[in-house]
Homo-oligomer: A and B are copies of this chain.
Amino acid sequence: MSIVYIAIVCGIVAVLYGAFTSSQVLRASPGDARMQDIAAAIQEGAKAYLGRQYTAIAIVGVVVAVVIALTLGLESTVGFLIGAVLSGVAGYVGMNISVRANVRTAEAARTSLQGGLTLAFRSGAITGMLVAGLGLLSICGIFWYLVAVTGVAPNDREVIDTLTALAFGASLISIFARLGGGIFTKAADVGADLVGKVEAGIPEDDPRNPAVIADNVGDNVGDCAGMAADLFETYVVTLGLTMVSIALLVQASSAELLNLMALPLLVGGVCIVTSIIGTYMVRLGKGSIMGALYKGFWTTAILSVPAIYFACAYVLGDMNAVIGGAGFLDPASDALTTEAALGSAATAGASFTGMDLFWCMMIGLGVTGALVWITEYYTGTNYRPVRSIAKASETGHGTNVIQGLAISLESTAMPTLVIVIAVIAAYQLAGIIGVAFAATALLALAGMVVALDAYGPVTDNAGGIAEMAGLPDDVRERTDALDAVGNTTKAVTKGYAIGSAALAALVLFGAYTTDLERYSAELGIGVVDFSLSNPYIIVGLLLGALLPYLFGAFGMTAVGRAAGAVVKDVRDQFRDNPGIMAGTSRPNYGRTVDIVTRAAIKEMIVPSLLPVLSPVAVFFVIQAVAGREQGFAALGAMLLGVIVSGLFVAISMTSGGGAWDNAKKFIEDGNHGGKGSEAHKAAVTGDTVGDPYKDTAGPAVNPMIKITNIVALLLLAILAGG
């Protein structure tokens, strides 16, 4: 248990970092009265929206909690509720600091670029550390309570079910938060642009535009709160299910299992420490803003290498002892046990050593670095992809969109190859467990990655506030410079989340098949045929592959519809009150916020339930047609179908959207005719198309994949236990 205690301490350090840094951020000057006025309106809108969003989600959550309570019992229900509540807390706290840091960043940017950068990044880092810290504490807490307090074995069914329920709670909330927030932010953004920039011909963030506050609220509830909930989910699912798969697959004594299962927690813990150190390295030297952010990221990544090594060595002792096979070092007794009775590791016939696990985690870090670099390549203004879209804008709207779609399709190739290579290498080293540890190391850097991402909406808001408050032009220039790299960092997080989902999918599928075998008697089934030559496997793959498409269609349509409602409201306000355009009277910002709020909450429900209900429907329909074994076969194939297609849908949408956005920025920097040229108009179209792609439909695919998988695991547990 000492390992778990260390991890708990690291989690507490993260939370303390958050509290300490919050007080630093809040001490900064919030600017003049006009700025504070605007910030207050954004705060109010964001709180009102999140309040209503979480109320709506709570209704669904309570229904699901009752179902879990009736079928899986108290521990699972508590696990579910902890996951759900903490996911909400991560989002809410992130939003809360973000809506205070925005105005302070604008004020700091009056003096210097460094001042703005420091404030915005610190605000992002608070969210990042809270996501990682709360995630780690929730898993540690449950594991500690069940194993140390109630005294069950670490691989007891209760531990597995409770961790799975924790992951489900986090996932369920996060899909609503990602999608609801995504619809809000893009409906407000697209609506404001359409009616402001295009129809009325006023610039972005002009205070005369009634949708301008809603647009800024959207940054906080979508890009900050929604993203935080999503990454919290990814963190909990990845670490939690690494533990579950160890419990299911590795045959060892309780004490050995306890240590091996605690290793992901310790890795998460030490990487929180390296992430915190990294945040202090974010400084503008002579280099670019992106360079400053990268300094922090690379510091964390490099420091994590020895940190992870020492974590492994501390937990496993002899790094070359074979685990699950001939021998396993028990650090509690500090003696090498060589019980042949433990059998070889059940990980697809592989046994592994501590060094193997260490290298698997290095693969995970390598994947993180590679995904960051690839995303930078596809969405940065210095490389071919973005420039090709900018160039294509010269010949019009159509060619801009064609080139953007081509880039979005192409951008899937390198991440896929990286993931494939990682899967092969990790599997060769240590089987499924190796893949799980690679995913764990990938996610261990979540604190830093979220920090980079959450920085974006703060600078975006700061620019909006600078514009609305009429601050001098050079302030806006500074916030714009800070904001430009935000497109890339935002795309990075999404690629990172979906990449981890691809690695996790294999682990989740392993857990699913192991569970099926273990409970075949309770389920009343024989051997389930998962071979590709079973047509129900094809059926499951196709139905799974359909989900991201259908989900994407819902998301895109929802944004279109909600943006239409914004356009209508703004048009009405302009018509009913001519003083708004004259600048003599203030638009009714609250009314627009309220309209987007209602639209977003209404639109998020149906698509979010799609991944919850489809696995259940597929199982029961196929069971009715072809028997229970084939029902489980089709369900299992569906889990892989959803990742096989979801990976591509998500990456193409998030990278493509980022590239469109930055192609517009590249033109605005004076290329291909600059602002106001025909090329710029075409680029604005591409940016508008990319908005729901990259901020609504694309990122929500990640929690969608997880939910489908976890629902399958829970369905299995319910059928086996009920």
Give chain A's interface residues, CB within 8 Å of chain B. Answer: 190, 193-194, 198, 348, 392, 395-399, 401-403, 405-407, 409-410, 412-413, 416, 419-420, 423-424, 427-428, 432, 435, 502, 505-506, 509-510, 513, 530-539, 541-543, 545-546, 549-550, 552-553, 556-557, 559-560, 563-564, 567, 622, 625-626, 636-637, 640-641, 644-645, 647-648, 652, 684-685, 687-689, 692-693
Least CB separation from A559: chain B residue = B402
Chain B contacts for A412, CB-based, 8 A:
546, 549-550
Top 10 closest pairs, chain A to chain B, by CB: A398-B688, A406-B556, A410-B553, A409-B553, A397-B685, A530-B532, A406-B557, A530-B531, A427-B535, A401-B689
* Residue of A198, A392, A536, A640 with highest tally of chain B CB at under 10 A: A640
Least CB separation from A191: chain B residue = B395
Count copies of this chain in the complex: 2
Q: Judge whether B402 and A560 touch: CB under 8 Å.
A: yes
Least CB separation from A651: chain B residue = B549
A289 to B412: give the CA distance in the assembly, Å: 42
Least CB separation from A401: chain B residue = B689
Supplied contacts A410-B557, A530-B532, 15 more A-B pairs, CB within 8 Å: A193-B398, A348-B535, A398-B685, A399-B560, A402-B559, A409-B549, A409-B550, A413-B553, A420-B543, A423-B535, A513-B533, A532-B537, A549-B648, A641-B644, A645-B645
Chain B contacts for A689, CB-based, 8 A:
398, 401-402, 405
Q: Judge whether A399 and B533 touch: CB under 8 Å.
A: no
Q: How far is the CB of A352 from chain B (nearest CB, A)?
A: 15
Q: Judge whether A648 and B546 touch: CB under 8 Å.
A: yes
A402 to B183: give the CA distance in the assembly, Å: 13
Chain B contacts for A534, CB-based, 8 A:
348
Q: Judge whether B399 and A563 touch: CB under 8 Å.
A: yes
Q: Judge whether B531 and A416 touch: CB under 8 Å.
A: no
14 contacts between A and B (CB under 8 A): A190-B398, A190-B399, A190-B402, A194-B395, A398-B687, A399-B564, A401-B688, A409-B552, A410-B553, A412-B546, A420-B542, A506-B538, A532-B537, A549-B648
Q: How far is the CB of A645 from chain B (nearest CB, A)?
A: 6
Q: Judge whether B398 and A194 touch: CB under 8 Å.
A: yes
Chain B contacts for A557, CB-based, 8 A:
403, 406, 410
Q: How far is the CB of A356 from chain B (nearest CB, A)?
A: 15
Chain B contacts for A541, CB-based, 8 A:
541, 640, 644
A693 to B406: give the CA distance in the assembly, Å: 10
A409 touches which of B190, B194, B556, B687 (Cβ 8 Å): B556
Chain B contacts for A549, CB-based, 8 A:
409-410, 412-413, 648, 652
A567 to B427: give the CA distance in the assembly, Å: 51
Chain B contacts for A563, CB-based, 8 A:
395, 399
A538 to B422: give the CA distance in the assembly, Å: 12
Least CB separation from A391: chain B residue = B564
Q: How far is the CB of A665 from chain B (nearest CB, A)?
A: 16
Least CB separation from A502: chain B residue = B542
Given contacts A509-B533, A539-B424, contact A688 B399 (CB under 8 A): yes
Chain B contacts for A530, CB-based, 8 A:
531-533
Given contacts A513-B533, A542-B647, A549-B413, contact A405 B556 (CB under 8 A): yes
A647 to B542: give the CA distance in the assembly, Å: 9
A648 to B533: give the CA distance in the assembly, Å: 21
Q: How far is the CB of A246 from chain B (nearest CB, A)?
A: 17
Given contacts A398-B194, A428-B626, A543-B416, contact A407 B644 (CB under 8 A): no
A420 to B397: give the CA distance in the assembly, Å: 38
Chain B contacts for A423, CB-based, 8 A:
535, 538-539
Dominant secondary structure at the A interface: helix
Q: How far is the CB of A206 from chain B (nearest CB, A)?
A: 18
Q: How far is the CB of A632 from chain B (nearest CB, A)?
A: 12
Q: Judge whether B636 and A532 touch: CB under 8 Å.
A: yes
Q: Judge whether A510 and B539 touch: CB under 8 Å.
A: no
Chain B contacts for A637, CB-based, 8 A:
532
Q: How far is the CB of A657 from chain B (nearest CB, A)?
A: 11
Chain B contacts for A510, CB-based, 8 A:
533
A424 touches which of B348, B416, B420, B535 (Cβ 8 Å): B535
Chain B contacts for A559, CB-based, 8 A:
402
* Residue of A510, A532, A543 with highest tally of chain B CB at under 10 A: A532
A149 to B410: give the CA distance in the assembly, Å: 50
A545 to B535: give the CA distance in the assembly, Å: 18
Q: How far is the CB of A458 from chain B (nearest CB, A)?
A: 26
Chain B contacts for A407, CB-based, 8 A:
553
Chain B contacts for A532, CB-based, 8 A:
509, 513, 530, 532, 537, 636-637, 640
A406 touches which of B194, B413, B560 (Cβ 8 Å): B560
Least CB separation from A403: chain B residue = B560
A328 to B211: give the CA distance in the assembly, Å: 75
Q: Judge whether B546 and A402 touch: CB under 8 Å.
A: no
Chain B contacts for A625, CB-based, 8 A:
424, 428
Chain B contacts for A622, CB-based, 8 A:
424
Chain B contacts for A546, CB-based, 8 A:
412-413, 416, 648
Q: How far is the CB of A667 from chain B (nearest CB, A)?
A: 16
A406 to B552: give the CA distance in the assembly, Å: 7
Q: Judge whether A560 and B502 touch: CB under 8 Å.
A: no
* Residue of A409, A510, A564 with highest tally of chain B CB at under 10 A: A409
A681 to B253: give the CA distance in the assembly, Å: 70
Chain B contacts for A420, CB-based, 8 A:
539, 542-543
Q: Judge whether A506 and B531 touch: CB under 8 Å.
A: no
Q: Judge whether B545 and A644 touch: CB under 8 Å.
A: yes
Chain B contacts for A560, CB-based, 8 A:
392, 399, 402-403, 406
A412 to B636: give the CA distance in the assembly, Å: 21
Q: Judge whether B647 and A644 touch: CB under 8 Å.
A: no
Chain B contacts for A513, CB-based, 8 A:
532-533
A516 to B654: give the CA distance in the assembly, Å: 40
Least CB separation from A544: chain B residue = B644
Chain B contacts for A509, CB-based, 8 A:
532-533
Chain B contacts for A190, CB-based, 8 A:
398-399, 402
Least CB separation from A697: chain B residue = B409
A545 to B502: give the CA distance in the assembly, Å: 13
Given contacts A413-B546, A542-B644, contact A692 B402 (CB under 8 A): yes
Chain B contacts for A564, CB-based, 8 A:
395, 399
Q: Judge whether B424 and A626 touch: CB under 8 Å.
A: yes
